[in-house]
Structure 1
Amino acid sequence: MALAFAHVPDDHRPWLWVQDKTAIRLSGRPYRPGLPRSLRHRLIHVAADKAQDALFALEEGLRCRDLAFVIGEIAGNPAALDFTASRRLSLVSTKHGVPLWLVRLAARHDLGSARMRWDVASAPSPPPQWNTQAPGDPRWQADLFRAHTFQPGQWMLGHDGQHEDLRVFTPDHGGVVSGTADRSLVPEQQTA
């Protein structure tokens, strides 16, 4: 997610990452050294106790035009994150021009107002080039299952070990289909 903005050379604004307590327990806190070099020092992290608090922090962040983008991580299907709350976040994101990625961990599909909805899961890594005992480059299976302006589909994303940006790979984990992940799939705003 953050990689989409890692290579925007003129944008040096900070960005916000909000997590509720259960999301932190499931996925951990952001690991700054693992972030793209251009984003590490600009991260503002908020650890919220409950989903309601996380939603409040997300909405306040979206109202701040001095942020480059906002990422929210909320676990499960809390009652606070209903269709109305999802729609409210989408409207605030659009009104203030701050992109939003809402990551739902261990959640079932329910109603939401997102322009694009994705299922993303880890995929098997290809064998490493030099050391057979080492892990291969990371891969993710990305399924776009709902979109207003794009046709649903599936992509295999990953790193090739030489570049920071994501690459789109063939389904057999072989060659690179495109040099970088299609920037047209980066919406003006996005929630899940």
Structure 2
Amino acid sequence: MRIYNLIAVGAALAIVLSGCSTAPVDKTELQDLYDEAASMNIAYSSSESIEELEDAAGDASDLLDDEDATQDEVTEASQRLEDAIERAESDTSVDEFTVVDATMGQDDGYGYAEMSITVKNNTDDDKELTGVDVAELDADGNIINSYMSYNKNYQPTVLEPGQTMDINLTCATSDGIAGVRCTKYEYSYYGSPIIGELSEPFIKMF
């Protein structure tokens, strides 16, 4: 009778121990996705998709370092990171040029100030920038003047990939310019002017 009891206890203990044992967590897919995200070119991705990708990659990195991470957590993080990668690849802004900054100088003592607009070449090729459109804004955001601003002597300036250039404008301080908005750019393609529209208007209040 005692022998049978020992056998029964041993069998029950084996069942309990087998239930407590867990298979090793497989992080292979998560690591592959993390490596893919780290090597992506996100220069043309939207700011929203970049933020989503960075958040998903950050969570993935934490789980890769976490020895106590569960398989469910890893699987969920893999799916989230995969979705973020797909969005960053598809949700892109392919503007040839973007306006990245604008500044307004002080009155020169003669009633004028210099406004500078910084434009960037986003492509992988040399591009001949001609100018950008400018809408001068008052303090309430209303348009005072609008025009296409051109480079010096109206000659296109070649910008290399990633290179920026400042377009400098002389403005009358009496106009009360408090900000600027740009929505278009112009460049030369084999001598012909091409006008492109920014996917997101650039607006800056001084």
User: Normalising by the residue count of structure 1, what TM-score does the alignment of the two structures yield?
Assistant: 0.26
Normalized per residue, which structure has more strand? 2
Q: Which has the larger radius of gyration?
A: 2
